[in-house]
Chains A and B, each alone.
Chain A
Amino acid sequence: MSRGRTWFEALAGGNSAQPNGPASLLLAEATLGGEKVSYLALAPDPQARFPRARGGEVGVEESWYGARAIQQIIEAGRNGAKRPILTIVDATSQAYGLREELVGIHLAAAALIAAYAEARMAGHPVIALIVGRAVSASFLVLCGQANRVLAFDDPQVLVHAMYKDATARITRRTVEELDALGESIVPMAYDIQSFNKLGGLHRLLHVAAPDAPNSEAVEQVKSALIDAIADARRGPHDLSSRLASQGAQQYRKASLAVRAKMAEQWAAL
């Protein structure tokens, strides 16, 4: 069983799939910290309709059905409580296929990104918990718009623009050269501690046995999610916490310089 499914089941209990939706998209309602929350995750499905999306990738069906599910949560909360949306992230990448491009996988992914962002702007705490892989568009789609991103502090947890072997081929470097670069160039490193330095995470969680969680570990993660929800509710409904982080002060100086200087020039015109 994939880590994503393991943690989805441990945290959310059962799964209530979308009508006619892909079995790779896991959705459930549960109670957490005394309130209703929605969980979402992706998991491999060897029988998936789209052959290129059988390994837990962000594919066209996962994206469009996921977008619809989140839009329904926003609609249900329009005049009431803004239910937290918790995504358990373990997704290899986006689906790479000719059919996917023909039907516009970029648009499907954009729809899910927009759904997450609109939920956040409407006041729903949007939390991503990275338990496995969040690579390339699977990071952008499942974590990119979250108010708060948590990740397990574990060697199997990976956030990156591209897997190491593909990066090596495209940038004409060896894997050893990439590893050496990652030592000095933090955004190129492949370990989650380095990603944390950039200010992209709210918290790193040290969880014992992340592949086979016991009840203690599940309670620990639930309590971290409750804290993250409360923290998101205290802050603005945007992504500003990332650039306001200690890490960004140190590793995203150029970002901060661009923001300050452009605002100054804009105001002067």
Chain B
Amino acid sequence: MTTAAQLPEEVLALSARYSYIEMNARTRAGQLLDPGTFCELLGPFDRIESPWLPMQDIVPQSDDGCIVAKGTIDGKPAVAIALEGKFQGGSIGEVSGMKMATALALARQGCERGIPTRAVLSLESGGVRLQEANIGELVIAEICAELIALRQHVPVVVVVAGMTGCFGGMSLAAGLASYVVMTRQARLSMNGPEVIEQEAGIEELDARDRPLIWSICGGAQRHATGIADVLVEDDAAEIAQAVRALFKRGEPTHLRSAAHELYIERLAQLDPVQPWSAEQIREMWKDQTP
């Protein structure tokens, strides 16, 4: 007697899916590039590590938590940059940040020489690495400068998948991007909830209230309010497909960071003395495209 397993279709569909969130940064970078084209720059064997962490008795990592890989996306030259949320919270130190800034600069120089080079960033970061504080600040400024220079040539796509989230200096990078892709698990916000609670008090925000936090800066809310372009499932193939589709779309008609008229009008319509809910912002902004 044989028993053929009768699994519901949704279970079969799930079992054919690979989680992007569970991938490490190196695998993610490979996932965003065309299969077989991943070529890592400044890989672990180059041993360029944080000079500052060992001075504070913290074990460094040989890629400093930032993976840079050259390859192609849809056959076009590309660079994928992925931050590792599991190393020092994806924080930006001198080496990890400089890898990102340099990769963006090299892509731009490629564009200027007639080789348009696409850039995709997979961001998981708590922001600047406090153990490298002021160099981190300088490097984040350089990342922003290079991202702004590069987006004049080619679209820059940011993926925020989770579970670390994208905060601080890297939230600025996401704000500067041509396109933002998020999962429901991802968060995109300037100040982390713990920082807001600490600076403004628990009456401003209770950092333990996870449903509230995701309602403010989770992928679904960011997509519904036009702060993210695409909302995807945690599916590696779907995320890579979304990135390819955005590069195919080309330059956005309007850069989100150039939408000052729209946001000035939006802010004027809100009363900052009243409490606001995420639903209210969704409702008010639903028909306005940035």
Q: Which residue numbers of A lie inside 8 Å of B, CB to CB?
A: 20, 49-52, 60-61, 64-65, 67-68, 71, 93-94, 96-111, 113-114, 117-118, 121, 136-137, 139-140, 143-145, 159-162, 166-167, 169-171, 181, 184-189, 194-195, 198-200, 238-239, 242-243, 251-255, 257-259, 261-263, 265-266, 269
Contacts and interface: CB of A to CB of B under 8 A. Distances in A.
Interface in B124-177: 128, 130-142, 144-145, 148-149, 168-169, 171-172, 174-176
Contact of A61 (B50, B103, B142, B267): B267
Contacts of A251: 135
Interface stretch (B5-13, B15-23, B187-195): B187-195
B195 A96 contact: yes
B260 interface: yes
Nearest to A109: B172
Nearest to B226: A104
B41 A161 contact: no
Contacts of B195: 96, 166
B137 A159 contact: yes
Contacts of A136: 128, 168
A140 B127 CA distance: 12
Closest 7 CB pairs of A and B: A110-B175, A144-B141, A106-B171, A161-B133, A96-B199, A106-B190, A187-B135
Contact of B204 (A65, A71, A96, A254): A96
Interface of B: 39, 41-42, 46, 48, 50-52, 55-56, 68, 70, 94-95, 98-99, 102-103, 106, 128, 130-142, 144-145, 148-149, 168-169, 171-172, 174-176, 188-191, 195-196, 198-200, 204-205, 216-217, 225, 227, 255-261, 263-264, 266-268, 270, 272-273, 276, 278, 281
Nearest to A58: B190
Contacts of A189: 134
B145 A259 contact: no
A187 B260 contact: no
B263 A108 contact: yes
B190 A262 contact: no
A49 B272 contact: yes
A265 B48 CA distance: 14
A242 B146 CA distance: 14
Task: Name which of B103, B133, B148 has the most chain A CB atoms within 10 A of its CB.
Answer: B133
Contacts of A93: 199
A14 B267 CA distance: 26
B144 A140 contact: yes
